[in-house]
Amino acid sequence: MSGTFVGMPAFPSAAREALQDDQLRRNLANATGVIRTKRAEVVDEVDNWEELRVAGAAIKDEVLLHLDEYLIELEASLTAAGAAVHWARDADEACQIVGDIAADHEVDEVVKVKSMATQEIGLNERLAQRGISAWETDLAELIVQLGDDLPSHILVPAIHRNRDEIRDIFVESMASAGKPAPDGLTNDPAALANASRLHLREKFMRAKMAVSGANFAVADTGTLVVVESEGNGRMCLTLPEVLVSVVGIEKIVPSWEDLDVFLQTLPRSSTGERMNPYTSTWSGVNDADGPQEVHVVLLDNGRTRALADEVGRQALRCIRCSACLNACPVYERTGGKAYGSVYPGPIGAILNPLMKGVGVDEQTDSLPYASSLCGACYDVCPVAIDIPSVLVELRTQVVDSHRGGAPDAFGAAMAGAAVSFGSPLPWKTVVLATGWAGRLSGPLAGRVRSSALKNVPGAAGAWAGARDIPALPKESFRAWMKRTGGQE
Amino acid sequence: MVTCINDAFFPETGKAVLRLLQRLGVAVDFPEAQTCCGQPMVNTGYIDEAVPAVRQFTKAFAGYDAIVTPSGSCAGSARHQHKLVAERSGEVGLADAVAEVSPRVYELSEFLVDVLGVTDVGAAFPHKVTYHPTCHSLRMLGVGERPLQLLRAVRDIDLVELPAADQCCGFGGTFAVKNSAVSTAMGQDKIDHVASTGAEYLVAGDNSCLMHIGGMMSRQSTGVQTIHLAQILASTKVMAQ
């Protein structure tokens, strides 16, 4: 991935631009619709799904509330198993650590297992600055990387591409990154998969160092777990001599038994499969096989900031399944790039402000508003993150961070609402005025009135751009009650 | 609770609730001191600005057995958000007042089915109708099948299923203006689904969502009318012979 999210505009304008792309909207509606249906089928067949959700949330909450103790335990068990443990406060430190390990081994390339943590810290770009090529080996990540593109989904980062586009990317770009695409490559899915297999196999066999993330880190056994579908992860985790895993500090589960819950909920929630094809686990170094040097970089990068937020900390339960993206009607229309982060969709709308803090930049502050609060995300979340409530809490924090300055149009309107609704008289006056307006405007049709408002700046124009305003009644409900006593 | 939006913009819905409940033998009062539940402020992040509305809400509705409202969204606000507002305000007595009032707030279909125990309310509505379950009714309150149970019992109604009914219409309160492009893109899919049913009326339990969907349908002259659930349930007009 060589694109960057840095400098992205705030959500409303990025979304408006994304909505212009009809091809993108068709690809997204199709793809999210298919995954939604698959997920619903395999979730419905689990009798105790609600119990699994609650159990998953409880396991994660236990870890988050005692994170200091679990991190020490994880470090000790990893070290005992022969892994080297590194601590990274932020993206800079983490990238420096990984780059230094590569430099120590004098490698100029690494193969990568799909990893949100390494995308979050911009590892590939940082390694490139040190002359090290980081090759993505997950098929969709490969498409994004070869297309000089940005990911738009957590699980299926090339969801915005269809197979014609993918064929073109392979034909144009594979040669510059290694083995070229086969002659006469078609858009047939099997042919595309085979082209990527040939291209990647060469990289797997050559690489001396691999970089991964981890879906889970088991504290008591010092075991890291990667869950994947394509087998590229298994290749990366077993073939190279050196393995470096960048792991967010919230990825801990206390014990091996706890995996039982998540290995049931994660595949069903993410790919809509009962079980994922490849689950790799490793504890440090094994003398007989696999990497002979194992590093684990424990990454904070804003997670302790999120942990300090009493309402928002539940976001750290997230197991990156992306069910909330697929269920979200906003995401389905805009795609992931509009969120300006490797974490898009509903979870991104809360994780980014929680990890980066609000009141700092306009783009981050716009994310909690990128939702109609319809609640579909909460319904599908396998660790029961109440995303709508966290969104409302973060909106409150955004507003609070701007208090004290001159209020914007919304601030002024809300201050007015506080007065209007705070006692009966002001509200009665507002309703009375509405009734007068209704009587005065009676002969005009509603659509004439609101079309005229289209170009008015602010909320009225934003409403009237595509919608008529209802014709005002001649008499409010309370005026009618007063006049008739409720008798028609 | 008629809700502020119905009071000012949709008085026919308030009248329908009154007529319906009276027909079912309920003693209905309209406390004049009611204003707004405070949801627009809370959901936009202005919690301090919602405190006066919540305070007024607890004053206006103190002492009633049940507070019935033709809005899943406003019922959800009272039941789930007022506690939050009261706690943050730190105002003496407000949290207690909220704890007293908010559990007695019912969305109309909940009150009819759960409290009164009726599904056939004696209504007649000879039209082709499709039902949109609004998000807060569906997911925040969990009203489930109740509105459909009520609609199925209406005489002469031709009730047709709305495709992708559980998808949000895109209203979302201030979302409709803060992210108007996304909001109307969602609304477009909703009205396309409505048009595909051939219904004369789109019915829902929230006039705010209907104002958005109806505003788009009116602009595009789709010919489909919006109507609140209460107005169908209050209707007794029979099929022309």
pLDDT in tens, A59-107: 999 999 999 999 999 999 999 999 999 999 999 999 999 999 999 999 9
Give the CA angle between residues A480, A486, B4 to the nearest 5°.
Answer: 55
CB within 8 Å of A487: residues ≥ 6 apart: none
The residues in A 334-363 lying below 8 A from B, measured between CB atoms, are 334
Pinpoint the residues of chain A covered by CATH 3.40.50.10420. Answer: 21-303
Tell me: pLDDT of A447 over 80: no
Q: For B33, name the nearest residue in chain A, comparing CA atoms only.
A: A424
Give the model's pLDDT for residue A1. 39
DSSP state of B67: E
Of B7, B42, B187, the CB nearest to A431: B7
- Find where tokens 């009611």 sit: B34
The continuous run of DSSP H or E covering A228 comes out as: strand A223-228
* Span B80-130, pLDDT tens digits: 999 999 999 999 999 999 999 999 999 999 999 999 999 999 999 999 999
Q: Which residue has the higher pLDDT, A427 or A305?
A: A305
Nearest CA distance, A16 vs chain B (angstrom): 6
Of B7, B53, B186, the CB nearest to A477: B7
- Find where tokens 């695409």 sit: A181
CB within 8 Å of A445: residues ≥ 6 apart: A471
Inter-chain CB proximity A431 and B216 less than 8 Å: no
Inter-chain CB proximity A477 and B14 less than 8 Å: yes
Nearest CA distance, A322 vs chain B (angstrom): 18
The continuous run of DSSP H or E covering B233 comes out as: helix B229-234
Percent of chain A at pLDDT > 90 equals 78
Tell me: pLDDT of A296 over 70: yes
Q: Which CATH class is domain A21-303?
A: alpha beta
pLDDT confidence band for A2 (50 / 70 / 90): very low
Of A372, A422, A486, the CB nearest to B171: A372
- For A387, phi then psi, to 5°, come to -60, -45
Percent of chain A at pLDDT > 70 equals 96
Domain ranges of chain B: 4-115, 128-234
Of A15, A410, A447, the CB nearest to B218: A447
Three-state SS for B174? coil
Instruction: Say which range, A426-440, B46-60, B99-113, has the weakest mean pLDDT.
Output: A426-440
Q: What's the CATH fold of domain B128-234?
A: Rossmann fold (3.40.50)
Tell me: pLDDT of A10 over 90: yes
User: What span, in angstroms and rounded, lies between the C-alpha atoms of B35 and B41?
Assistant: 13
A266 in contact with chain B, both atoms CB, cutoff 8 A: no
Please classify residue A61 by burial: count the beta carbons closer than 10 Å to its beta carbon, then call 0-12 exposed, 13-18 middle and 19+ buried: middle
User: What span, in angstroms and rounded, lies between the C-alpha atoms of A159 and A335?
Assistant: 8
B240: number of Cβ within 10 Å:
6
Sign of CA dihedral A85, A87, A91, A93: negative
Please classify residue A205 by burial: count the beta carbons closer than 10 Å to its beta carbon, then call 0-12 exposed, 13-18 middle and 19+ buried: exposed
CA distances from A239 to A201, A205, A296 (A): 11, 7, 17
Mean pLDDT of chain A: 93
User: What span, in angstroms and rounded, lies between the C-alpha atoms of B133 and A99?
Assistant: 53
Amino acid residing at B31: P
CA distances from B177 to A465, B44, B204 (A): 10, 11, 21
A466 in contact with chain B, both atoms CB, cutoff 8 A: yes
* Span B130-176, pLDDT tens digits: 999 999 999 999 999 999 999 999 999 999 999 999 999 999 999 99
